[in-house]
Amino acid sequence: MIRQLAFDLPPTEALSRADFFVSPSNTLALQAVEGWRDWPGGKLVLVGPEGSGKTHLTHIWAEASGAAILQARDLAEVDIAALAGRAVAVEDAQQIGMAEAALFHLHNVVTAGGTLLLTATTPPRDWGLRLADLLSRMQAAQVAQLMAPDDGLLSAVLVKLFADRQVAVAPNLIPYLVSRMPRSVGAARGLVAALDAQALALGRPVTRALAGDVLDRLGNG
């Protein structure tokens, strides 16, 4: 069989509020983000495993608040003073590393009139912070937790990921995948990418048979 060339073009990921699927695993976190005008001290820490929806919620908040979105590892290179009093999101705060002083400065200039959202895979006590004043301010923040996704959420995420890649699949493929894949949105993203790549390489649609082969290769069959 002639294999087609598969170009790994990144899909366009839909990150609006309308594209966010609400389930028991994320309802409280969504409510916390949407209540941003009432965050105690003007700040919120959003905690959840990789691929659980933190970035999607961050973009929902940024659209509502006009927030700038920054990566924690890049804070040392950011003009912090220019963000005074604004809405700012800092993603992957557990990767703050040597930029603690920048985060401390950002916290002070933003929360004096603005709002600050931080996302992380772990709560602030586990970020390895060495600045006592920064640690105390982070631990004083309200924390919203994203829980492990349930079947309904994983199903909705799979449908969304296939749609983002413009890949048509039979409806009965979704429960088949959900019953055999790891329980995380990150795993769903990796699985859909692998299925798309395999289908492109073979010039075949994404079927249950193809999915079974990919799941076996990934160790989830």
The total number of structural domains that make up the chain: 2
How far apart are the C-alpha atoms of 164 and 162, rounded to whole Å?
5
- Amino acid identity, position 123: P
* Residue at which a domain ends, from 145, 166, 192: 145
pLDDT of residue 221: 65
Evaluate whether 103 touches 72 at the Cβ level (below 8 Å).
yes
Of residues 10 and 149, which shows the higher confidence score? 149
Domain boundaries, position 111: 26-145
- Of all residues in the chain, what percent carry a pLDDT higher than 70? 93
pLDDT of residue 220: 73
Helix (H, G, I), strand (E, B) or coil at 177: helix
Average pLDDT value for the chain: 90
**pLDDT band at residue 21, thresholds of 50, 70 and 90?**
confident
Q: For the domain that residue 109 is a member of, what is the CATH number?
A: 3.40.50.300
Q: Which pTM does this prediction carry?
A: 0.80
Residue 81 CA to chain centroid, in angstroms? 27
Residues 135 and 185 in one domain: no
